[in-house]
Amino acid sequence: MSLLNIVKKEVKELLTPATVLPVILMFIIFASMGNFFGETAEKAKEMPKIGLVCNDDGNASKIFVDVMEAYCNIVTRNNSIEEVKERKGIALIEVPSNFSSNIENFSKADIKIYWIINDVGISNAFPYETLKNIIDVAEEEIINNILKKREINASFVSNPISKEELTVFKEKEIDVSPSIILQFFSTQSTTVPIIVMIIILTSGGMVITSMGMEKENKTLETLLTLPVKRSNIIAGKIMGAAIVGFIIAMIYMAGFGYYISSFSGEKIDLSTYGFKLDILDYFFISLSLFSSLLAGLSLCIVIGTFAKNYKSAQTLTLPISALAIIPMFIIMFKGFASLPFSLKAIIFAIPFSHPMMAPSFLLLNEYSIVIAGTAYSFIFSLICIAIAAYIFKTDLLLVGRARKRWKFRLV
């Protein structure tokens, strides 16, 4: 009962408009950015608007014009840059009268392109790139036509080598290129660590802040003289912070997920090759995440005992941030297996690393390292909780550590 009271009190103290509003603001920012990038990506698929003037009636120019008409929005046929500008076109292309004859005589044919820049944003570059690609397509069509006239197999000339790809990965032979497999695993090792980092940082910050606030608001002494076990106070603080941290992390992740999804391209599915997570894998991931969160919060409560007030609590979250961010970056850019032994040891020693790596390990059926990591995180938590309980039972929490030659000011 007393544990539940402490948890309820913690949630009430931590879940305030001051803590939730900035998170909601971040959600709105991420969601807006995602929306913007999504719209930009959609815009990139639109046909570029151009002006097209063709002064040639030969065969090659006909092919060129057909391709342009198929893939571009022709806003004018007049030789007027002003008109293209008015109709928000990005280029005026002029095909000269000798275009087809030059090609038929195997001499280079010129076209004139007047590019019009309407704005300077990154997204404004997309239509120009699209038009360049369309011109390349037109060029290919003209080449195919020339080769066809000479009864040469055009598709053979352009692709004379046929590739049969087979990638050997973890004792499996998979008939896709290595880049597809690496892209699949890099998606796992990018998204999961970011999510884990957000949960650890928000919940951990909550525990440290809670301790800082207890000291700043002078409520800790009262709490410690109530008939409630020290272990319940510690557990209540951890559980309260975990609940609030989880709620805040969910809000963050909803916005962040929307933002990330705006970039996502083609989905890669390697489940047919055995690379998929089943129910048991998700159980192990949950267990790994829980043990890591418990370890993080237990460490935070130990660190939080040193917080003198809200401000110093914010500073004390820095070591936790470093412990969450360092493995995140290492795991994102380099696989655990390819790390040197010393770095492997460091990454393993940081409990937050394990849920970040767990999905990739489980996809590869490497259960032993996930189980070892989870067990390590639980042991780490127990040690931290024992240290916190010791600190709560001694004078350290209220009067700090006595050092020789200190001058004490009694209150």
Partner 1 sequence: MKALEVKNLVKRYGEFEAVKGVSFSVEEGEIFGLIGPNGAGKTTILRILATLIKKSDGEAKIFDLEVGVDDNEIRKIISYLPEEAGAYKNMTGRQYLAFIASFFDGKEILQRGIKISKLGKRIDDKIENYSKGMVRRLLLTRALMTMPKLAILDEPTSGLDVINASEIREMIKRFARNGMTFLISSHNMLEVEYICDRIALIDKGKIIEMDKPEKLKEKYNAKNIEDVFIKAIK
Residue 225 phi, psi (nearest 5): -100, 0
Question: What binding mask, one character per residue, do residues 207-226 give for partner 1 by CB under 8 A, x or -?
Answer: ----------xxx-xx-xxx
> Residue 408 Cβ, how far from partner 1 at the closest point, in Å?
5
| Choices 12-20, 55-63, 276-284, 285-293; region in contact with partner 1 by CB under 8 A | 12-20
Any contact of residue 12 with partner 1 (CB under 8 A)?
Answer: yes
Any contact of residue 21 with partner 1 (CB under 8 A)?
Answer: no
Residue 219 phi, psi (nearest 5): -105, -10
Any contact of residue 9 with partner 1 (CB under 8 A)?
Answer: yes
Q: DSSP 3-state assignment of 52?
A: strand
Total residues binding partner 1 (CB under 8 A): 33
b/e per residue, 327-341, with b = 16+ CB within 10 A? bbebbeeeebeebee
Any contact of residue 118 with partner 1 (CB under 8 A)?
Answer: no
End-to-end CA distance of the chain: 34
Nearer to partner 1, 85 or 230 (CB): 230
Any contact of residue 341 with partner 1 (CB under 8 A)?
Answer: no
Question: What binding mask, one character per residue, do residues 368-407 give for partner 1 by CB under 8 A, x or -?
Answer: --------------------------xx--xx--xxxxxx
Q: DSSP 3-state assignment of 172?
A: strand
Q: What share of the chain is helix, strand, coil (3-state, %, to 5)?
A: 70, 5, 25
Which listed residue (227, 265, 278, 368) binds partner 1 by CB under 8 A?
227
**Residue 94 burial by Cβ neighbours in a 10 Å radius (0-12, 13-18, 19+):** middle
| Choices 5-13, 25-33, 168-176, 256-264; region in contact with partner 1 by CB under 8 A | 5-13
> Residue 132 Cβ, how far from partner 1 at the closest point, in Å?
59
> Residue 407 Cβ, how far from partner 1 at the closest point, in Å?
8
C-alpha dist (Å) from residue 317 to 125, 209, 235, 285, 313: 42, 9, 19, 25, 7
Question: What binding mask, one character per residue, do residues 229-248 give for partner 1 by CB under 8 A, x or -?
Answer: x-------------------
- Report the alpha-carbon distance of residue 295 to residue 117 in Å, rounded: 55
C-alpha dist (Å) from residue 323 to 96, 291, 330, 353: 65, 15, 11, 9
Nearer to partner 1, 132 or 308 (CB): 308
> Residue 394 Cβ, how far from partner 1 at the closest point, in Å?
7
Nearer to partner 1, 150 or 404 (CB): 404
Any contact of residue 409 with partner 1 (CB under 8 A)?
Answer: yes
Nearer to partner 1, 227 or 340 (CB): 227
Nearer to partner 1, 161 or 402 (CB): 402
Nearer to partner 1, 157 or 399 (CB): 399
Radius of gyration of the chain (CA): 32
Which listed residue (7, 13, 84, 351) binds partner 1 by CB under 8 A?
13
- Report the alpha-carbon distance of residue 85 to residue 83 in Å, rounded: 5
Any contact of residue 311 with partner 1 (CB under 8 A)?
Answer: no
Nearer to partner 1, 35 or 217 (CB): 217
- Report the alpha-carbon distance of residue 117 to residue 85 in Å, rounded: 9
Nearer to partner 1, 75 or 211 (CB): 211
| Choices 6-14, 87-95, 181-189, 325-333; region in contact with partner 1 by CB under 8 A | 6-14
Nearer to partner 1, 108 or 401 (CB): 401
Identify the residue whose tokens are 């008409």: 69
Nearer to partner 1, 11 or 287 (CB): 11
Nearest to 231, CA basis, from 383, 377, 382, 385: 385
Nearer to partner 1, 136 or 221 (CB): 221
> Residue 213 Cβ, how far from partner 1 at the closest point, in Å?
9
- Report the alpha-carbon distance of residue 363 to residue 64 in Å, rounded: 49
Any contact of residue 308 with partner 1 (CB under 8 A)?
Answer: no
Structure-block tokens of residue 349: 């020693």
Edge-first strand listing for the sheet containing 49-54: 73-76, 49-54, 91-95, 112-115
Nearest to 180, CA basis, from 120, 265, 107, 268: 268
Q: Which residues touch 280 (CB under 8 Å, ≥6 apart)?
A: none
Binding site for partner 1 (CB under 8 A): 1-2, 5, 8-9, 12-13, 16, 217-219, 221-222, 224-229, 394-395, 398-399, 402-411
